[in-house]
């Protein structure tokens, strides 16, 4: 006979913690606690299978009913009470419990089994009429709303009126007489509302409640939650029926929540709060303020330790047992009934990143868990909180706008509306927040000068977002609710108008724009954090490189112990100051000779850029991407700016205007850039190649460390493109090496950022020494989505549930990932040892890193401030893979 119901009581249980799929996490943990002898009220759990069957059949199957009846009898025996009896009646809770915690999504009913007769029995037995009717009142209210479908407000109104009549400010100030009246009013209200009588038969109460809890698995709230968290509908929920213990039965009773360690700091002390003479819901409801468990200085005499010393001692000891048993910090629900401690639930406790690290390391150090388990315990993404300064948690926030959390950390400063203003303010030693509709390469200096960046347009991978992450500066993009009034230099948002010089604080972790100057707290990367990184490095197979274009970024990444540079975007080197003028001169030049002459002036600058990077990276590999963006990126767009620029360069403004017009593109993302530009104007790539090889040789001579440059060709679709450029690179390499009379090793490869390149990887691998997946552009082309324009519809998609994750943040494993799989398979068919990496934003995303580990890539490359995240995520991926 199939087993649908599992009992537990008093040191015995039919299930255990291993049965989480069948009993739900709550049911499994109750079974486990009971099994190891902890004080758990007797009860039983109806399985998730029973739920599925019931939902399918539209009713609870007879076999299930029979087993529930038997389990209920068992519960009666173990509790010494009888369900529905008019002496010593058994009162139970009926609680939902899925495989993973879905807090508040499904339904629960407490105090079930009470009716007009059993409430009298409870009253007599407890000698506390007020308690009995308070409990009955609670039950009717819950049952009516959860099972019968009444409006909650109906009961709140009655309760409010009763409180007013009695002049009571809290529920527990109401006397027995008032509560009797409330019970009567409740029942009348139900009759009026539904034309149905509140059921007096406890069995009917039970069956209808179990059915309602089953059905709550499919309520809209739960369905949305499941969709968001990828929880399959097939899992179903279990239902636990358990004898009630009453925290609301007098001054010697209580209910509370305990964490075995401090969930904010990780400190190894019991932490939590409780309420005397209350049921669990009261702690949540917030009418009364709970008191601390342990003695605190500022609330003498309030703690459980002082008021209920025996149960407190028992709780301390049991907390320790539970943590040892489950091997993790526990979040425990307990009730004290007439001085006796009962445990109602235990689960792994939620905690801050800081606490997670400390707990994991201390538990591993005291051999409760292995180092691998400790690493798995820390959410890699959460490290972001620790890597940047953050707003003092105690500061009072006034949110005036919200946007995308494009780059983490926090900053505050005076508002400026142009890069020029930012640079000027910086020169005067002022901290500024650069506020722009969106940023372009023209804003690089301003972004460099600012402490934070705020834009009204753009997404998580807009120019502002990508550059700010590289710089490690907080940035909020797409703050659509605010309007920038360029003429008056003002920012209008949330009814507030702010002007240049007004203070603003950005919370880049949450995408909040806050008014005024809030206090900050610093990041801390030593101690436990350093240990965590050390342990990660011992486990991971994937190398973690960084995407770094500037010496500053490279230094930050080396400080985070990046294994090299996976992507150095050289175009940013041309966006600033004098260079941008030389660049414009090159672009408007009309012949190859003219262009070469201008490029000759850029070459020494490029060379010194590379020498500096090679020196900072101390022999770690550096992959340098040849010039990628379309040329028009470097030209001004508006007529006035064109005229001004032409004047600066001393050329005819109509000529410049014509060139701007010629270079205009309808879809620049798919235009003349990357290798296409290199084939149309090979002189640019040739200048860069020369600079790279000369720098490599010079830096190598200077430091004595061997430099192995990796040259990355962008936007390759055809193998012939790579061949075309590679021939030229090899030729220049030979020339430079001959002229310096020194041979060096070097690699030439390309980015796989177009679907065609992925599909043709078998051929491309014949000409490439390495391939790196440029998943930003590969996502754009595979999905046909321009990341600059995506925010309008992707937000709608997420809202309507068409997609669950933003593919520019979490790698689209089924689409883009499948192309990566094909490319990996085909590329390694040609060259089994082919060096493979990922350099898109996904290189710093833990779930994407897990996928890269599965694929067998050699490295991930991410923005400097994500290097620690990637190191931990790579370790976790390796551990998971080993575990199968």
Least gap, CB of 355 to its own copies (angstroms): 37
Nearer CB in complex with its own copies: 503/724 = 724
Closest CA to 463 of 451, 446, 481, 488: 446
Tokens of 732: 């220049």
Least gap, CB of 431 to its own copies (angstroms): 31
Which whole-number Å values give the CA distances from 354 to 161, 175, 387, 390, 527, in the listed order? Answer: 47, 47, 11, 13, 11
Footprint of its own copies (CB under 8 A): 665-672, 676-677, 679-680, 715, 717-718, 720-721, 724, 753-756, 759-760, 777, 780-786, 788-789, 792-793, 796-797, 800-803, 812, 814-816, 818-819
Least gap, CB of 341 to its own copies (angstroms): 49
Name the binding residues: 569, 625, 753, 774-777
Specify the pairing of strand 271-276 against strand 291-292.
antiparallel
Name the binding residues for substrate: 569, 625, 753, 774-777
Nearer CB in complex with its own copies: 176/759 = 759
Signed CA dihedral, 634, 640, 645, 646: sign only? positive
Interior CA angle at 107 toward 102 and 111, to 5°? 130
Closest CA to 423 of 414, 415, 435, 432: 432
Compute, in degrees rounded to 10, the torsion defined by CA atoms 735, 740, 746, 752.
Answer: -50
CA distance 292 to 464: 45
Least gap, CB of 679 to its own copies (angstroms): 6
Nearer CB in complex with its own copies: 230/526 = 230
**Which residues make Cβ contacts (< 8 Å) with residue 765, sequence separation at least 6?**
771, 826, 827, 828, 829, 830, 831, 834
Least gap, CB of 51 to its own copies (angstroms): 26
Say if CB 496 and CB 400 are below 8 A apart. Answer: yes
Least gap, CB of 787 to its own copies (angstroms): 9
Say if CB 258 and CB 272 are below 8 A apart. Answer: yes
CB atoms within 10 A of CB 29: 28
Nearer CB in complex with its own copies: 451/752 = 752
CA distance 648 to 651: 8
Name the binding residues for Mg(2+): 753, 777
Q: 3-state DSSP call for residue 328?
A: coil
Nearer CB in complex with its own copies: 334/627 = 627
Least gap, CB of 663 to its own copies (angstroms): 9
Nearer CB in complex with its own copies: 650/784 = 784
Say if CB 636 and CB 648 are below 8 A apart. Answer: no
CA distance 687 to 678: 11
Nearer CB in complex with its own copies: 216/462 = 462
Q: 3-state DSSP call for residue 573?
A: helix
Tokens of 257: 């929540």
Least gap, CB of 105 to its own copies (angstroms): 22
Say if CB 643 and CB 651 are below 8 A apart. Answer: no
Nearer CB in complex with its own copies: 225/503 = 225
Nearer CB in complex with its own copies: 581/792 = 792
CA distance 881 to 726: 37
Least gap, CB of 704 to its own copies (angstroms): 41
Least gap, CB of 841 to its own copies (angstroms): 17
CB atoms within 10 A of CB 797: 14
SS3 sequence of 392-448: CCCCCCCEEEECEEEECCEEEEEEECCHHHHHHHHHCCCCEEEEECCCCHHHHHHHH
Nearer CB in complex with its own copies: 462/688 = 462
Least gap, CB of 381 to its own copies (angstroms): 24
Least gap, CB of 383 to its own copies (angstroms): 31
Segment (H or E) for 134:
helix 129-143
Nearer CB in complex with its own copies: 601/821 = 821
Which residue(s) pair with 110 in the sheet? none
Least gap, CB of 784 to its own copies (angstroms): 4
Tokens of 471: 């710089």
Say if CB 664 and CB 692 are below 8 A apart. Answer: no
Nearer CB in complex with its own copies: 308/754 = 754
Q: How far apart are the first and last CA of the chain?
A: 34
Tokens of 293: 């468990």
Which whole-number Å values give the CA distances from 825 to 220, 460, 817, 832, 836, in the listed order? Answer: 42, 30, 12, 9, 11
Q: 3-state DSSP call for residue 752?
A: strand
Least gap, CB of 188 to its own copies (angstroms): 42
Least gap, CB of 816 to its own copies (angstroms): 7
Alpha helix (H) residue ranges in 428-576? 444-449, 463-471, 528-539, 551-559
Say if CB 678 and CB 712 are below 8 A apart. Answer: no
Nearer CB in complex with its own copies: 250/630 = 630
Length of the chain: 884
Nearer CB in complex with its own copies: 93/781 = 781
Signed CA dihedral, 465, 467, 469, 472: sign only? negative
Signed CA dihedral, 426, 431, 436, 442: sign only? positive
Residue tagged 């009655």 (tokens) = 158
Nearer CB in complex with its own copies: 518/635 = 635
**Which residues make Cβ contacts (< 8 Å) with residue 808, sequence separation at least 6?**
459, 460, 461, 776, 779, 787, 790, 794, 841
């Amino acid at each position: 006979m199939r087993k649908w119901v599992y009992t537990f009581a008093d040191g015995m249980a039919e299930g255990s913690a291993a049965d989480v799929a069948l009993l739900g996490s709550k049911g499994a943990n109750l079974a486990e606690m009971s099994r190891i002898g902890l004080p758990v009220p007797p009860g039983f759990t109806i399985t998730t299978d029973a739920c599925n069957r019931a939902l399918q059949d539209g009713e609870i199957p007879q076999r299930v009913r029979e087993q529930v009846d038997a389990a209920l009898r068992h519960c009666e025996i173990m509790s010494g009470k009888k369900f529905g009896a008019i002496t010593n009646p058994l009162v139970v809770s009926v609680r939902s419990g899925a495989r993973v915690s879905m807090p508040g999504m499904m339904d629960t009913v407490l105090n079930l089994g009470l009716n007009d007769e059993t409430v009298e029995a409870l009253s007599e037995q407890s000698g506390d009429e007020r308690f009995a009717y308070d409990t009955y009142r609670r039950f009717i209210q819950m049952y009516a709303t959860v099972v019968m479908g009444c409006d909650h407000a109906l009961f709140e109104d009655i309760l409010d009126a009763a409180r007013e009549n009695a002049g009571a400010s809290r529920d527990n100030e109401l006397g027995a007489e008032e509560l009797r009246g409330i019970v009567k009013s409740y029942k009348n209200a139900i009759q009026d509302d539904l034309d149905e009588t509140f059921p007096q038969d406890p069995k009917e109460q039970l069956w209808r409640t179990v059915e309602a809890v089953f059905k709550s698995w499919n309520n809209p709230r739960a369905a949305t939650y499941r969709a968001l968290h990828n929880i399959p509908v097939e899992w179903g929920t279990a239902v636990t029926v358990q004898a009630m213990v009453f925290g609301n039965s007098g001054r010697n009773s209580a209910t509370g929540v305990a964490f075995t360690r401090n969930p904010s700091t990780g400190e190894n002390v019991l932490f939590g709060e409780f309420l005397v003479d209350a049921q669990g819901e009261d702690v949540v409801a917030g009418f009364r303020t709970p008191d601390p468990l342990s003695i605190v200085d500022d609330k003498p005499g309030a703690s459980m330790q002082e008021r209920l010393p025996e149960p407190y001692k028992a709780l301390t000891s049991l907390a320790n047992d539970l943590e040892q048993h489950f091997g993790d910090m526990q979040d425990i629900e307990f009730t004290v009934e007439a001085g006796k401690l009962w445990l109602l639930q235990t689960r792994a406790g939620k905690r801050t990143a800081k606490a997670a690290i400390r707990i994991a390391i201390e538990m591993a150090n005291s051999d409760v868990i292995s180092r691998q388990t400790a690493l798995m315990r820390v959410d890699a993404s959460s490290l972001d909180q620790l890597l940047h300064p953050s707003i003092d948690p105690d500061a009072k926030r006034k949110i005036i706008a919200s946007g995308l959390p494009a780059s983490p950390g926090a900053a505050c400063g005076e508002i400026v509306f142009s890069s020029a203003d930012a640079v000027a303010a910086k020169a005067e030693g002022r901290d500024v927040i650069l506020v722009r509709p969106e940023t372009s390469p023209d804003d690089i200096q301003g972004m460099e000068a600012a402490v934070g960046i705020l834009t009204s347009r753009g997404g998580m991978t807009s120019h502002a977002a990508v550059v700010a992450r590289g710089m490690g500066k907080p940035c909020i993009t797409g703050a659509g609710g605010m309007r920038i009034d360029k003429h008056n230099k003002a920012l209008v948002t949330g009814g507030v108008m702010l002007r240049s010089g007004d203070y603003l604080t950005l919370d880049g972790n949450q995408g909040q724009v806050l008014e005024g100057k809030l206090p900050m707290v610093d990041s801390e990367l030593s101690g436990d954090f350093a240990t965590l990184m050390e342990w990660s490095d011992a486990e991971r197979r994937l190398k973690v490189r960084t995407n770094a274009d500037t010496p500053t970024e490279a230094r930050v990444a080396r400080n985070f112990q990046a294994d090299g540079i996976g992507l150095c975007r050289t175009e940013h080197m041309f966006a600033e100051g004098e260079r941008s003028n030389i660049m414009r001169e090159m672009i408007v030049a009309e012949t190859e000779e003219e262009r070469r002459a201008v490029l000759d002036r850029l070459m020494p600058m490029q060379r010194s850029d590379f020498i500096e990077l090679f020196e900072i990276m101390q022999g770690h590999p550096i992959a340098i991407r040849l010039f990628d963006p379309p040329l028009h990126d470097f030209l001004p767009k508006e007529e006035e700016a064109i005229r001004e620029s032409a004047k600066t360069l001393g050329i005819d403004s109509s000529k410049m205007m014509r060139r701007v017009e010629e270079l205009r593109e309808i879809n620049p993302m798919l235009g003349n850039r990357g290798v296409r530009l290199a084939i149309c104007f090979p002189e640019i790539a040739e200048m860069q190649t020369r600079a790279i090889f000369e720098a490599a040789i010079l830096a190598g001579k200077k430091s004595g460390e061997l430099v192995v440059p990796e040259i990355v060709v962008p936007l390759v679709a055809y193998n012939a493109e790579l061949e075309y450029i590679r021939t030229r690179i090899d030729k220049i390499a030979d020339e430079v090496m001959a002229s310096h009379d020194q041979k060096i090793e070097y690699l030439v490869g390309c980015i796989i950022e177009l679907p065609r390149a992925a599909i043709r990887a078998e051929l491309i691998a014949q000409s490439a020494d390495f391939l790196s997946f440029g998943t930003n552009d590969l996502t754009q082309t595979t999905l046909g989505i321009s990341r600059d324009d995506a925010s309008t519809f992707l937000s709608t998609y997420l809202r309507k549930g068409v997609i669950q994750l933003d593919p520019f943040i979490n790698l689209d494993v089924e689409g883009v990932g499948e192309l990566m799989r094909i490319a990996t398979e085909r590329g390694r068919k040609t060259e089994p040892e082919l060096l493979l990496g990922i350099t898109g934003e996904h290189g710093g995303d833990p779930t994407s890193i897990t996928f890269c580990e599965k694929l067998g890539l050699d490295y991930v490359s991410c923005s400097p401030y994500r290097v620690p995240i990637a190191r931990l995520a790579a370790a976790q991926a390796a551990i998971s893979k080993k575990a199968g």
